[in-house]
């Protein structure tokens, strides 16, 4: 079940907690992908809040938003690069994406296996993807006051296993959102301090979301290949138009 784009926009752009969540996840993303100069970057779900730092240097940035969620114009004050699309059929050529970011897309998808197949299709050889999903053991997945309280939360092992099943190679992982998902003033003011403390903890312990980076590796086929010569279509029809002599 996808959330409505208006609710997502209000959370990330109009609430103090949402802006804090955006800053926390974006900081982790920039540590993993500090630069995307000359590359094609796509985001699926509601990844737009994280992609703004790449607009100036990336060759192309596309924000794909699924139909059940809805679409909004993005980025504000600049030419629109957001696209409304089907969840498992994106308007992108095969192998054209260098960097793919998925947030509020996998855990809310009605067809996660087909969605991962589409992610694999659009990535080029050696392309990288980061999946941002709620941590099953974290506080954010237990509160429906934030978008991370909807859909299917994951453990790190569950997510990596699902990605491996779809031929992705896990490169590294990180966590974000250590602060308490509360609108109360005390927790909002304490948020930056809690985030700094949380980054020193192991990934699987307290983070509200996981960021798992994977790559698309295409391996050369092994073994000996036998080429089968196809029978000529003309030869098949030859006996009808020009009967061949029978052997004596």
Phi, psi for residue 239 in degrees, rounded to 5:
-70, -15
Structure confidence at residue 179 (pLDDT): 86
- Max Cα distance, the chain (Å): 103
Structure confidence at residue 8 (pLDDT): 96
Mean pLDDT, to the nearest integer, of 183-201? 70
pLDDT band at 145 (very low <50, low <70, confident <90, very high): confident
pLDDT band at 242 (very low <50, low <70, confident <90, very high): low
Q: Distance between CA atoms of 215 and 179, rounded to whole angstroms?
A: 30
Residue 41 pLDDT greater than 90, yes or no:
yes
With contact defined as beta carbons under 8 Å apart, do 54 and 61 qualify? Answer: yes
Mean pLDDT of the chain: 86
Q: Distance between CA atoms of 99 and 215, rounded to whole angstroms?
A: 9
Residue by residue, DSSP assigns 26-75 as HHHHHHH----TT-EEEEEES-HHHHGGGTTTSSEEEEEEETTT-----S
Structure confidence at residue 236 (pLDDT): 47
Structure confidence at residue 210 (pLDDT): 93
Mean pLDDT, to the nearest integer, of 45-52? 95
- Going along the chain from its start, the domains and CATH numbers come out as 5-216 (3.40.50.150)
Stretch (H or E) spanning 133: strand 123-134
- pLDDT digit string, tens, across residues 75-121: 988 999 999 999 999 999 999 999 999 999 999 999 999 999 999 99
Q: What is the pTM of this model?
A: 0.84
Structure confidence at residue 202 (pLDDT): 61
């Amino acid at each position: 079940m996808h959330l409505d784009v208006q609710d997502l926009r209000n959370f990330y752009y109009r609430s103090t907690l949402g802006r804090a969540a955006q800053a926390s996840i974006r900081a982790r993303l920039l540590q993993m992908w500090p630069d995307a100069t000359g590359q094609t970057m796509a985001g699926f779900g509601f990844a737009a809040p994280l992609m703004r730092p790449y607009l100036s240097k990336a060759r192309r940035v596309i924000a794909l938003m699924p139909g059940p969620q809805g679409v909004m114009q993005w980025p504000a004050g600049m030419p629109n690069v957001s696209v409304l699309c089907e969840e498992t059929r994106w308007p992108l050529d095969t192998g054209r994406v260098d960097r793919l970011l998925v947030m509020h897309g996998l855990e809310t998808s009605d067809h996660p296996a087909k969605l991962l197949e589409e992610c694999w299709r659009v990535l080029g050889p050696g392309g990288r993807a980061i999946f941002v999903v709620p941590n099953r053991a974290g506080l954010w997945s237990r509160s429906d006051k934030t978008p991370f309280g909807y859909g299917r939360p994951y453990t790190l092992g569950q997510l990596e296993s699902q990605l491996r099943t779809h031929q992705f190679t896990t490169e590294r992982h990180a966590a974000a959102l250590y602060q308490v998902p509360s609108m109360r003033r005390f927790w909002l003011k304490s948020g930056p301090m809690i985030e700094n403390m949380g980054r020193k903890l192991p990934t699987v312990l307290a983070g509200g979301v996981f960021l798992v980076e994977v790559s698309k590796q295409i391996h050369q086929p092994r073994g000996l290949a036998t080429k089968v010569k196809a029978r000529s279509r003309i030869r098949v029809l030859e006996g009808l138009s020009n009967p061949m002599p029978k052997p004596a």
